[in-house]
A and B are shown apart, each in its own frame.
Chain A
Amino acid sequence: MLTITDLHANIDGKEILKGLSLTVKPGEVAAIMGPNGSGKSTLSYVVAGRDGYEVTEGSIVLNGEDILAMDAHERAAKGIFLAFQYPLEIPGVTTMTFLKAAMNAQRKQRGEEELTTPDFIKRVRAAADKLGVSQEMLRRALNVGFSGGEKKRMEVLQMVLLEPKIAILDETDSGLDIDALRIVAEGVNALRSPDRSFLVITHYQRLLDYIVPDSVHVLSAGRIVKSGDKELAHELEKNGYRDYVADAA
C-alpha cells in the first residue's frame, strides 16, 4: 500500500526527516508515536504533499506509484487523506458547499462523473447521521465557530465521504474529551477495511485504546527507531520516550 524509503525532508533549509523508512500494508492500522519535535507532523505533511517541504532523498510509493512529483490535490485524488490536528476555518463557505466541491474535484481528476445533487445529499445525510453531525452544522460555514470536538467529527465525516485509500490521522485526539474521542474513534473503526490503511499519529497512547493498531512505530529525530505491535504503545506510556531520544542522539 504505502512504502516510504529513506525519506529525507527539509523545511527552510532545516532537515527534519533524516532517512525515514516505513511500510504500511493494505488494511493495516499503523501508529506513529514520538516525542514533540520528532517530525510527526512533518511526516504527515510530506506524505500529503504540502508546499514548502523539500524532499532531498528517498521515495514515497503508493500502490506502486511514486507520488513525490504530484501536487497535494493530485495525491488526494489518488486516495491520500489527512485528518488535520487543527482543521482550518473557511468563512462564508458552507460545509455542504465544501464537501461537494471536494468530492467532485476528486472525481473529476479520476475521470469520473460528478455526483448528482440528490446522490450527494443522500451520502452526506447517511454519513452525518452516523457521526452525530447535525443538519445545522452542515449549513454553517466550514469549521467556523465549531468546537474542537465538532471540528474533529467534521474531519471524520470528510474522511467517510472521500473514501481514501490511506488516511493519516494527525494528533486527532488532541483537544478531545472522552465522549468526543469515542465518537471519532468509532467513525474511524467503521472505515477499517482490508483495502484501506491508516497512519495514526499520536503523542499519547490513549487514542490507541479506541483505535487499536496493528503496528506501532517510534519516530525520533526524523527516523523510525523502533517498531513493534500494540504492546509497544503501552510500554511507551509507562517509560516515556527517554530511551529512544537517547538512542537517536
Chain B
Amino acid sequence: MAAVQETVDKVRSVEVDAYKYGFVTDIESDMAPKGLNEDIVRFISAKKDEPEWMTQWRLDAYKRWLTMQEPVWARVNYPKIDFQDLYYYAAPKRSPGPKSLDEVDPELLRTYEKLGIPLREREILAGVEGAAERRVAVDAVFDSVSVATTFKAELAKAGVIFCPISEALQTHPELVRKYLGTVVPVTDNYYATLNSAVFSDGSFVYVPPGVRCPMELSTYFRINEKNTGQFERTLIIADKGSYVSYLEGCTAPKRDENQLHAAVVELVALEDAEIKYSTVQNWYPGDSEGRGGIYNFVTKRGDCRGDRSKISWTQVETGSAITWKYPSCILRGDESRGEFYSIAISNGHQQVDSGTKMLHLGKNTSSRIISKGIAAGRSDNTYRGQVFAHRKAKGARNFTNCDSLLIGDTCGAHTVPYIESRNASAVFEHEATTSKISDDQLFYCMQRGLSGEEATALIVNGFVRDVLQQLPMEFAVEAQKLIAVSLEGSVG
C-alpha cells in the first residue's frame, strides 16, 4: 500500500484545489467522479504529477475529442456508449467483489483449471477481495521481488529502460516527449484521441542503439501492473540497430469492471532496429446470451522510421465481446519490413473486426500479412486490412493470406481488403480462403478416439499453425490450450 500512499502524498504536494476543478473530491479515496470534462483531465494529470506540457497535451486531445464522432464503419453492433457515465480515474468498486472463490462463477473457475492457473492467481483474476494484497505480501518474500530485482538489474546493465509510462514521464520526460503521439497522433481517431486525454498508465520501453534486449519483456514483470485500467498507453522505442521482443497480455480470462477499453500502443523502430510485439488477449467475452463482456477498441501502430527496420505484430485474440483492432505498420524507411500474424477466434455472441494496415512509403519496403479467423457459435468475424503503396514506394511488396474457418452454421466470416497502389513497380499478392470444419473431418478424428471438442481443437490448431509458430515458445503452448478452451461448446 506504500505506493498508493506515495501517490497520495505526491498529489497533496501539488496542492490540488478541489474547488478549482469544479467538484469536491476526497483525495484519500483516490477517485474522480463519473464523467469527463477539462477538470477531470487536469485532475488525472495532476494525480500523476505530470509536467505542464503533458497536461497541455492531454487537454488538446480532450478538446479535439469533443469535435469528433464515434466511428461506425466497423461491422460491429453495440448499444451507444454514454461517455459521461464512465469513471476516468481509478474507478471505484461499484459492486464489491466476491469474498472467496466459492462466490465466483463456476464456469470461470473451470476455465482457470483447464488453463492450469495456480490457485492463488485464480483469486486475483476472479477479483476476489483482498487477494491481490495478500499476494503482494506473500510474493514479496518469495519470488516476485527477487525475480523483479534480477530482471531490473540485467536490463539496467544493457541500458534498456522498461517502466510504467507514468514513471518514464518523471525519469525520462525528454524521451517520452520526443516520441509520444508521433506514431498515433492525438488527432488519429475517436478512441485514440480519448485515450490521449485520459490514459491511466501503460508500459514504456527504450532500447539504446545496438542493444539486443537480453530477455523478452512481458507486462507480467512490470511493476505496478495492477490498475493500469481501461485506457492503457504503451510506447516502445527501438533505437538504431537494436532488437526487442515484447509480450502483452495473459491467457487467463480476466474479470474487469470496466466495459470499455481503449488502449493505444505506439512502436518506433529506427534504422536497422527490430521490434516484435506479441499479444494474447482473452478478456471476458460476455455470458452465453451475449450480456456483459468487454469492448476492446484499440489503436496499435508501429512506425518503421529508419531504413531496414522491422516491426512484427503477432496476436491471438480470443476474448472481449467486441474487438476493434488493427495493428498497423508505417513502412517509412527504405527496405523496411512489416509483418502481421493474427489468430482471431470468436464464439458465442462475440464480434470481431480486426486486421491490419501496411502503409508502404519507402523504397523496396515489404510486408506480410497472415490472418486466421475462426468463427463459431453466433459470432461474427471480420478481417479488415489495408495495403497501400505511396507513389514513391518503388519496389514495394506485400503478401497477404487471409483464411477463415467456420464452425457450425450460425456464425459469419467476412474479409474486407483495401488495396491501393500508386506506383507501377509495387507487387501485391492477396490470397483468401473460407472453409468449414467438415463433418467428415470431425468424424474421422472421432473415429480415432478424439471427442468432438478435442477433434475441433486439433483441427483449429492445425489451421492456425503458421501463426502459432511466430509466438515465443511458452506463449505458443499457452495459446494452444487457450484455443481449445475458447471453442468449448462450439460443437453440438
Contact = CB atoms under 8 A, between A and B. Distances in A.
Real binding pair: yes
B446 A76 contact: yes
B451 A84 contact: no
Contacts of B463: 91-92
Contacts of B455: 73
B292 to A, nearest CB: 33
A93 interface: yes
Interface of A: 45, 48-52, 71-73, 76-77, 81-82, 84, 87-88, 90-93, 97-98, 101-103, 105-106, 109, 141, 158, 162
Interface in B331-377: none
Interface in B447-492: 447-452, 454-455, 458-459, 461-466
A52 B446 CA distance: 14
Contacts of A158: 448
Contacts of A49: 446-447
B458 A90 contact: yes
A74 to B, nearest CB: 9
A93 B444 contact: no
Contact of B462 (A71, A77, A82, A93): A93
Contact of A98 (B438, B440, B458): B458
B466 A73 contact: no
A228 B236 CA distance: 78
A90 B440 CA distance: 11
A102 B448 contact: yes
Nearest to B465: A92
B446 to A, nearest CB: 4
Closest 9 CB pairs of A and B: A92-B462, A93-B462, A106-B449, A102-B448, A92-B465, A72-B446, A88-B444, A105-B449, A76-B449
A105 B450 CA distance: 6
Contacts of B438: 88
B466 A92 contact: yes
Interface of B: 438-441, 443-452, 454-455, 458-459, 461-466
B459 A93 contact: yes
Most buried by B among A76, A82, A84, A92: A92
Nearest to A44: B447
A102 B450 contact: yes
24 contacts: A48-B447, A49-B446, A50-B443, A50-B447, A51-B439, A71-B451, A71-B452, A72-B446, A73-B450, A73-B452, A73-B454, A76-B446, A76-B448, A88-B438, A88-B441, A91-B463, A92-B461, A93-B459, A93-B462, A97-B458, A101-B454, A102-B449, A105-B448, A106-B449
A107 to B, nearest CB: 9
Contacts of A101: 450, 454, 458
Nearest to B457: A101
B451 to A, nearest CB: 5
A68 to B, nearest CB: 16
B446 A92 contact: no
Contact of B449 (A77, A87, A97): A77
Most buried by B among A48, A88, A97, A106: A88
B406 to A, nearest CB: 15
Given A73-B449, A92-B462, A93-B461, A105 B454 contact: yes
Contacts of B459: 90, 93
Contacts of A92: 461-466
